[in-house]
Amino acid sequence: MPSSVRNRATTSKPVPRLPRTRDELFAATTVVLAVLATGLAFAGAYDVGAVVALACVLVGGWSQMISETRFERFESVVAVVAGAVVLAVCLANGSGIWT
């Protein structure tokens, strides 16, 4: 293997990039909402966590309908399932407006 190819292969690093299309943006938003809802549930903020988890499920459902690639659908499904589980936990343990 020529040295120029070897050096290029060993020195290249993956560059993180922002979502470029509407589909990628919805899928990334679904993941962010799922992580945020999970953090709120662990912190004990069940009312706010339930609202964020419900938003995650709704945005994720829309993301499923408009996604074009398999990766976006996979990302959305994982986030929607996590959001639905967090929503169930928040509704089961919450107090205030939900009970």
pLDDT number for residue 68: 85
* Residue 37 and residue 60 in contact, taking contact as beta carbons nearer than 8 Å: no
pLDDT number for residue 57: 94
Exposure pattern of 35-54 as b/e (b: 16+ CB <10 Å)? bbbbebbeeebbeebbbbbb
User: Whose CA is closest to 50, among 2, 3, 16, 97?
Assistant: 97
Domain ranges of the chain: 20-98
Residues of the chain with pLDDT under 70: 1-12, 95-99
pLDDT number for residue 10: 59
Residue 8 burial (CB count, 10 A): 10
pLDDT number for residue 2: 57
